[in-house]
Amino acid sequence: MKKTNLGSVCRRHISTNANVATFFNRYLDKSDVFSWNSIIADLARSGDSVEALRAFSSMRKLSLKPNRSTFPCTVKSCSSLSDLISGKQTHQQALVFGYETDLFVSSALIDMYSKCGQLADARKLFDQIPQKNVVSWTSMIIGYVQNDLPHQAILLFKELLAGQAEELVFLDSVAMVSVLSACSRVSGKTLTQGLHGFVTKRGFDEDIGVANTLIDAYAKCGEVDFSRKIFNVMPQKDIISWNSMIAVYAQHGLSAQAMEIFRSLAWDREVDYNAVTLSAVLLACAHSGALQSGKCIHDQVLKMNLEDNVYVGTSMIDMYCKCGRLRMARNAFNRMKEKNVKSWSALIAGYGMHGRAREALQVFYEMVSAGVKPNYITFVSVLAACSHAGLLDEGWYWFKAMEPRFCIQPGVEHYACMVDLLGRAGFLAKAYYLLKEMKVKPDFVIWGSLLAACRMHKNVELGEISASHLFELDPTNCGYYVLLSNIYADAGRWEDVEKMRILMQNRGLSKPPGFSLLELKGRVHVFLVGDREHPQHEKIYAYLEELSIKLQIAGYVPNTTADLHDVEDEEKGLALRVHSEKLAVAFGVMNSVPGSTIQVIKNLRICRDCHTTIKLIAKIVNREIVVRDAKRFHHFKDGLCSCGDYW
DSSP string over 385-440: HHHHHT-HHHHHHHHHHHHHHH-----HHHHHHHHHHHHHTT-HHHHHHHHHT-SS
CA dist., res. 556 & res. 535, Å (int): 29
Q: Residue 418 in contact with residue 447, Cβ under 8 Å?
A: no
Handedness of CA 526, 530, 535, 539 (dihedral sign): positive
Do residues 134 and 171 touch, judged by C-beta distance below 8 A? yes
- Compute CA distances 292 → 243, 286, 296, 488, 524, whole Å: 21, 11, 6, 43, 10
Residue spans of the chain under pLDDT 50 = 1-18, 564-574
Return d(Cα 435, Cα 157) in angstroms, integer: 41
Query: Strands 640-641, 523-528: parallel, antiparallel or unpaired by DSSP?
Result: unpaired
- Rg (the chain; Cα; Å): 30
How many whole angstroms separate alpha carbon 634 and alpha carbon 645?
9
Per-residue confidence (pLDDT) for residue 577, from 0 to 100: 61
Q: How does pLDDT run across 288-347, given as a tens digit for each residue?
A: 888 889 999 999 999 999 988 999 999 999 999 999 999 999 999 999 988 999 999 999
Within 10 A of 614 (CB to CB), how many other CB atoms are there? 23
What pLDDT score does 572 carry? 43
Task: Quote the CA–CA distance of 340 and 392 in Å, as a whole number.
Answer: 28
For 419, 496, 556, 582, 617, the CA distances from 549, given in Å and listed in that order, are 41, 36, 9, 15, 11
DSSP letter at 337?
A: S
User: Is residue 551 within 8 Å of residue 620, measured between CB atoms?
Assistant: yes
Rounded to whole angstroms, the Cα distance separating 221 from 184 reads 7
Q: How far is residue 639 from each of residues 153, 388, 554, 568, 642, measured CA to CA in Å?
A: 59, 20, 10, 28, 10
Cβ atoms of 214 and 208 within 8 Å: the answer is: no
What is the number of helices (H) and of strands (E) in the chain? 35, 6
CA distance 309 to 298: 12
Work out the angle at residue 250's Cα, subtended by the Cα atoms of residues 247 and 251, and round it to the nearest 5 degrees. Answer: 85
- pLDDT score recorded for residue 644: 83
Contact 215, 245 (CB under 8 A): yes
How many other C-beta atoms lie within 10 A of the C-beta of residue 335?
Answer: 11
Specify whether the CB–CB gap between 105 and 68 falls below 8 A: yes
Question: Residue 427 and residue 478: Cα distance in Å, rounded?
Answer: 26
Residue 18: predicted pLDDT: 47
Residue 12: count other Cβ atoms within 10 Å of its Cβ: 8
Q: What is the pLDDT of residues 386-402, one digit of tens each?
A: 999 999 999 999 999 99
Q: Are strands 640-641 and 598-602 parallel, antiparallel or unpaired?
A: unpaired
